[in-house]
Amino acid sequence: MAQPHPPPRPKIVLSESQHLILKRLRRISRVLDNAVGIPGTRYRVGIDPLLGLLPGGGDVVGSALSGYILYEASRLGVPRETLGRMAFNIIVDTLVGTVPAFGDLFDVAWKANAMNLELLESHLEAPKVSAKADKWFVVLLLVGIAIVVFAAGAFTLWMLQLLWRLLSGNL
């Protein structure tokens, strides 16, 4: 039995500059989470899981790009609650993504950027009458994400050093 198609999204009315921002965010999200289809399936993957293979640095790059999406969402007027959910998605992606092997598989399934873009587009389609996030709230979210990213990177490097010492017999 064929699955029904989801209803078409309402047309989002934006200024030209907002439209360009949304277009850029869609492109970034697609490249990170859904760039390439897996042959024989409907599933798509992006470069985020590949970035996660780079010890420490890959998760930093992926999280920085995710943070950029959050920053631009704040400029488009997304309220605090939604930005908090977006930050949560990024933090989960970062923390679980640092776990060797499991984190890389998790990154294939947990598409934080696609989820965050969905949150952004849902807000733009039906804006909630909610207080817009102020600059300091956004700065606090981004600094919090940066702390988590660097802590996860430091933990990964510490684990790699420990593994190296175990394998080389210098423990």
Residue 36 lies in a domain: no
Residue 10 lies in a domain: no
Predicted local distance difference test score (pLDDT) of residue 135: 84
Block means of pLDDT (10 residues each) for the chain, length 171 residues?
59 80 95 92 89 75 92 92 94 85 86 96 79 80 89 80 86 67
Instruction: Evaluate whether 128 touches 79 at the Cβ level (below 8 Å).
Output: yes
Whole-prediction pTM value? 0.79
Residue 95 lies in a domain: yes
Residue 130 lies in a domain: yes
Instruction: Evaluate whether 59 touches 52 at the Cβ level (below 8 Å).
Output: yes
Predicted local distance difference test score (pLDDT) of residue 10: 56
- Distance CA(166)–CA(171), nearest Å, equals 6
- Distance CA(130)–CA(125), nearest Å, equals 14
> What's the domain count of the chain?
1
Residue 95: other Cβ atoms inside 10 A = 17
Residue 65: other Cβ atoms inside 10 A = 18
Residue 110 lies in a domain: yes
Residue 57 lies in a domain: yes
Residue 55 lies in a domain: yes
Residue 56 lies in a domain: yes
Residue 49: give the domain boundaries: 16-30+43-168
Predicted local distance difference test score (pLDDT) of residue 113: 96
